[in-house]
Chains A and B, each alone.
Chain A
């Protein structure tokens, strides 16, 4: 399946912060965190993205994690 050019991911912090981020599948998690930080106002290195107990690492790209368009990620803070 060919990857779409741009994907939109929803990041939800269960305390009231829900952000939709547009990004490329080739972006890394670190880049995604920076985008989130820009929108939410925290520092990007304080953000932890998780899905259930899987912590997403900063240096791996979204397509490698198989994060597709419309997926929900959990936002936590460290």
Chain B
């Protein structure tokens, strides 16, 4: 059918001319002969002698073979926007940490015996136990034979049956609708309504996502257009969670920084929003405003008043609001409470609630469940133009559907056991214990860090991180510069090498020029967290002495 006959050989078919073809050869006649010889020899070789060819020595198969040929994809020819992407949470420090772990396993001597990773909000990797009920339902969904088993409580079985019934062929192995499983979206809508004191929520506005990140990137994708001064600008907080800067870099959108006020517990200030918007309007078209509440990496919980101000600002300036609310259950400070942007928006009256476009994001990865690996999440869109919504549906349909186990998990998060159900007591205990422990660790972290001269730490009101300011001696800064490193990267790298503690430098999140920070999670178990904090303290004192 596709025989390697002369008629099909490239270069021999007189129908086509190939001026570009076989650039390495000169002379058409010569070329044709070569092609013919080359190919017939090769085809003979291939049909008969595949076996010996497999025996090529491994070194010849490496990238360093004698034969050189330009690669198609090199650092110079690759997508320049991808090159600009940076994601410090899994950046060089973390890569080095993984290396050190390997070295430790290989028996290399270090001044420590284990690496403590406080770089990422990965609760279960730090020993947090999953919520039993959630995992029971997931096991039941994965292997419905277990529904016959009497080791599972009835409420878990009922949940599993309900989810399975909503899946094609009653299997979590089938694709769901692109927007997510219908009944899960309904449950999400109910959850939002009850969370927001009755503000209505339409399941049609709910989109299940692959973790919150997927939703955020999708929304940004819709928003980006224009060239030069009309290119879409997106306002993000500084410090920020670097998903935002990474997504904006990849989409070649314009990043507009607004600074949180560290002196006022990382609060958001409307005059700062105005300043940054005004400045940005000179070179781009600001279209969206992203807010992370509770804050990552900064741990502040926004007041209701502040949210109102932000909404008013967005309404006045015609900005699309993106509210990253994945830490909505992680509020520790007694004086703070989580207010959803949607609820506040609706309490501000119809001139806001009927007009301001809002997308808010939630996930299974944080809060008390910490189920990062399942990549569950949802977003709710409000006041989105119906035609744009159709486009959004189309866009998400290309990736077919978010992982169904993650959707199932999201369902459980928004629809956990209710009082009276057999699993309720255990669920409630697990949930309360986890949140209580996190609150304790938040306080512990703040308290201990604040005893270190040269470290100032705002209260960790919510989320899972502390983002203390560190003062670095001038000599350390000079040395870092000489090494071509950002000073806080220099600091964190040294900390890692000397103590095995893995933190992320503030420069990965953004900070006011001349200030230095790091982000650490409060997730390690209390005893480990205490060790970590003691080591950070000791290291910082030593570091300060060494460079003063």
Q: Do A and B bind each other?
A: no
A interface, CB within 8 angstroms of B? none
Chain B interface (Cβ < 8 Å from any Cβ of A) = none
